[in-house]
Amino acid sequence: MADHKTNKDQRYDRQLRLWGDHGQEALENAHVCLVNAAASGTEILKNLVLPGIGAFTIVDGHRVSGEDVGNNFFLSSDSVGKNRAQATTELLQELNTDVSGNFVEENPDRLLDNDPEFFHRFSLVIAVQLEESTCLRLGSVLWNAAVPFLVCRTYGLVGYMRLVVREHTVVESHPDNALEDLRLDQPFPELTNHITSYDLDNMEKKDHSHTPWVIIVAKYLQKWCREHDFQLPRNYKEKEAFRQLLREGIRKNENGTPEEEENFDEAIKNVNTALNPSKVCVSVEDLFNAEQCENITSQSPAFWVMVRAVRDFVQAEGRGSLPVRGTIPDMIADSDKFISLQNVYRERALQDAAAVSRHVESHLQAVGKVCIWGTLHMWNAAFLRVVHCRALVEEYGVDTVHKDEITSCMDNPDSEMVLYLMLRSVDCFYQQHSRYPGVYNYQVEDDIVRLKLCVHSLLQEYGLTVNVKDDYVHEFCRYGAAEPHTVAAFMGGAAAQEAIKLITHQFVPFNNTFIYNAMAQTSATFQL
């Protein structure tokens, strides 16, 4: 068992450094469903099987064709004629024996007719190269079941992704600009006591130069506040004056020249960090104001019970502040001083966390549920986020379409938005002709005319007064609905990355449409 663990640690070492053990655990508990094992689909699954998702199930009613073998790495010429779900499952499974691979030889439409609840069991459903009508049906089944749905498509030199999730909660958003949580603007009592235990004026020289900068800044802030009407330095000028105060605190040798005290240098450098006000950030404030936070019921997901408990904490024990994070940055200090400072923050964080769990418990009790929070990861309240996507029906509805987004993007006729409109137009073509334009070379010319009509009727239907250049119509006919492998490979990487975000609840996924233009190597995201 221990051996198996080491083995895994080694195998996954390079990714554990990105999403940690708990992210890996979430992956290993996930069951992902892929609808259609076309090249884009198997590329996505490959990138999920390698990092070790728990299980996958492929749903596909197609038989393997020669064309499939030509662009799909997970099919070989002896798979021709077999069911595509089965053939690809076998080869994908080989990539990682820790992953359980399953397949269903069934057309998704039929599955939706006979057993729509089949799809409820998955952590995530990914559909590729799925025709529009089926996609909309599947989308509404999953929307109602609150199962995240990722639509992915490779069409010639264009890639498309659409995330359909009612509510996705992000526990660790990994913001690029995460600030330290030091509370120096409003120190909690234990921190104040700890600061008071230092007497900078009557210290050995070595202790003086090994006092953590947090203590130094806190000490001088006390002094500053006494002299400035209990106001912290607010603007650049005052902060500069405060830095000067710190500079003056550096010990001088017998000749009056300042000693080198790196901890003071660090303190001066960190004045801004230290003065960062400890307030609840806007994105978390939004969570507090959400309806799901207000009304906790027995059906409330764990995330919202947690958010509510944090809100209660802020209003009660926290006196307006979030629970203390409990981690401090590395700084110049000797081990003893650093560790005791670290402990002050850590203890407080544990106390705050305990207070939050009491709130959780009381909410659960109120709705008649037992506490099931055993292994809650040490999360950080400031990094909680929530993402709401629009449903596909809203995007497709004539009254609910995001017309403004489309029209304003189309001010530039070469915006990636035009590719979206073209994709919608080829779907319209498919509806009328039961095939995509340009799939047979001899029909390309005729199809150009037909596709143009589709573009017009689409624009008319939605009342869009935008101009779609003829070039794009020609281009899309030339694509012949092909799925070039290298574009599929790109989409496989990009979609799998979003899937990992969704499964681990780390990082914020895109919302809600992603378009890739492989010819120009550009991409864009839209809210549709």
Partner 1 sequence: MFLAGILGPLRKELADSLSSCRVLVVGAGGIGCELLKNLVLTGFKNIEVIDLDTIDVSNLNRQFLFQKNHVGKSKAQVAKESVLRFCPSANITAYHDSVMNPDYNVEFFRNFQLVMNALDNRAARNHVNRMCLAADIPLIESGTAGYLGQVTVIKKGMTECYECQPKPTQKTFPGCTIRNTPSEPIHCIVWAKYLFNQLFGEEDADQEVSPDTADPEAAWNPEETAARASASDQDGDIKRVSTKDWARSTGYDPVKLFNKLFKDDIMYLLTMDKLWKKRKAPVPLDWHWTYGLKDQQVLSVGGYSQLFQRSVETLRAQLKEKGDSAELVWDKDDPPAMDFVTAAANLRMHIFSMNMKSRFDVKSMAGNIIPAIATTNAVIAGLIVLEALKILNSDFQQCRTIFLNKQPNPRKKLLVPCALDRPNPNCYVCASKPEVTVKLCVHKTIVQTLQDKILKEKFGMVAPDVQIEDGKGTILISSEEGETEANNGKFLSDFGIRNGSRLQADDFLQDYTLLVNVLHCEELPRDVEFEVVGDAPEKAPPPSVPEEEKSITNGNKDSAQPSTSTKAEDDDILIVDSDEEPSSSTTDVSMETGSLKRKLQDAETGETASKRKRLDQQPAAEDDDDDDDIIALD
Least spacing, CB of residue 432 vs partner 1, in Å: 20
Closest separation between CB of residue 27 and partner 1, Å?
11
CA gap 477, 480 in Å, rounded? 6
Contact residue for partner 1 among 260, 291, 399, 404 (CB under 8 A): 260
DSSP-assigned beta bridge partners for residue 258: 252
Residue (of 527, 501, 440, 528) closest to 170 by Cα position: 501
Q: Is 269 in the site for partner 1 (CB under 8 A)?
A: yes
Least separation in angstroms between CB 501 and partner 1: 9
Q: How far is the CB of 315 from partner 1 (least distance, A)?
A: 26
2-8 own/partner pairs: CB under 8 Å, 24+ apart: 8/52, 8/98
Identify the residue among 492, 502, 503, 512 touching partner 1 (CB under 8 A). 492
> Among residues 172 and 352, whose Cβ is nearest to partner 1?
172
Strand partners, 160: 153, 515
Residue from 25, 105, 265, 414 binding partner 1 (CB under 8 A)? 414
Give the x-and-dash track for 56-95 against partner 1 (CB under 8 A): ----------xx-xxxxxxxxx-------------x--xx
- Are the beta carbons of 504 and 168 closer than 8 angstroms? no
Which residues have a Cβ under 8 Å from the Cβ of 301 and sit 6 or more positions away? 169, 292
516 contributes a contact to partner 1 by CB under 8 A: yes
State in angstroms the smallest separation of the CB of 360 from partner 1: 26
Is residue 415 within the footprint of partner 1 (CB under 8 A)? Answer: yes
Nearer to partner 1, 313 or 338 (CB): 338
In the complex, minimum distance from the CB of residue 515 to partner 1, in angstroms, rounded to a whole number: 10
Of 1, 10, 230, 291, which one interacts with partner 1 (CB under 8 A)? 10
Beta pairing, strands 100-104 & 55-59: parallel
Nearer to partner 1, 163 or 305 (CB): 163
Decide: 184 and 218 in contact? Cβ < 8 Å.
Answer: yes
Residue 156, Cα to own-chain centre: how many angstroms?
28
* CA–CA distance, 16 with 157 (Å, rounded to integer): 33
- Interface positions, 85-144, toward partner 1 (CB under 8 A): 91, 94-97
Interaction residues for partner 1, span 196-215 (CB under 8 A)? 205-206, 209-210
Check residue 273 for interaction with partner 1 (CB under 8 A). yes
14 is a contact residue toward partner 1 (CB under 8 A): yes
Site for partner 1 in 150-169 (CB under 8 A): 156-157
Residue 482 is a binding residue for partner 1 (CB under 8 A):
yes
Contact criterion met (CB below 8 Å) for 58 and 89: yes
SS3 58: strand
Q: Which amino acid is at 115?
A: D
Q: 127 exposed, middle or buried (CB, 10 Å; 0-12, 13-18, 19+)? A: buried
CA–CA separation, 345 and 278 (whole Å): 14
Nearest to 90 by CA among 81, 101, 99: 101
Q: What is the smallest separation between the CB atom of 62 and partner 1, expressed in angstroms?
A: 14
Is 181 a binding residue for partner 1 by CB under 8 A? The answer is no
Give the pairing type, strands 522-526 and 513-517. antiparallel
Candidates 115, 227, 259, 461; binder of partner 1 (CB under 8 A) is 259
139 dihedral zone (left: phi>0; alpha: psi -120 to 50; beta):
alpha
Among 81, 329, 397, 463, binds partner 1 (CB under 8 A): 329
Q: Does 178 sit near partner 1 (CB under 8 A)?
A: yes
Residue 525 in the binding site for partner 1 (CB under 8 A)? yes
| Site for partner 1 contains 485 (CB under 8 A) | yes
In the chain, what is the straight-line distance between the N-terminal and C-terminal CA atoms, in Å?
48
The residue among 57 and 72 lying less far from partner 1, judged by its C-beta, is: 72
* 176 is a contact residue toward partner 1 (CB under 8 A): yes
One-letter-per-residue 3-state SS of 161-211: EEEECCCEEECECCCCCCCCCCCCCCCCHHHHHHHHCCCHHHCCHHHHCCC
Q: Output the six-digit token pair for 48.
A: 């999920």
500 binding partner 1? (CB under 8 A)? yes
Interface positions, 425-464, toward partner 1 (CB under 8 A):
438
Of 54, 61, 116, 175, the residue at the interface with partner 1 (CB under 8 A) is 175
Element of type H or E holding 285: helix 282-289
Instruction: Concatenate the DSSP letters of all residues of 244-255 into one string.
Output: HHHHHTS-B-TT
For the chain, what percentages of helix, strand and coil (3-state, to nearest 5) are there? 55, 10, 35
Q: Should residue 487 be labelled a site residue for partner 1 when binding is judged by CB under 8 A? A: yes
Let me know: does 156 contact 480? Beta carbons within 8 Å.
Answer: yes
Residue holding tokens 């292994």? 375
Site for partner 1 contains 235 (CB under 8 A) = no
Residue type, 235: N
Residue selected from 146, 241, 367, 520 as contacting partner 1 according to rule CB under 8 A: 520
**Identified binder of partner 1 from the candidate list 114, 272, 432, 460, rule CB under 8 A:** 272
Nearest approach in angstroms of CB 471 to partner 1 is 14
Instruction: Name which position in 134, 222, 443, 497 contacts partner 1 (CB under 8 A).
Output: 497
Q: How far is the CB of 75 from partner 1 (least distance, A)?
A: 8
Amino acid identity at 165: V
Interface with partner 1 in residues 373-412 (CB under 8 A): 412
Among 202, 255, 257, 335, binds partner 1 (CB under 8 A): 335
> Candidates 106-114, 120-128, 335-343, 448-456 — which segment interacts with partner 1 by CB under 8 A?
335-343
Bridge partners (DSSP) listed for residue 102: 57
The site that binds partner 1 (CB under 8 A) totals a number of residues, namely 98
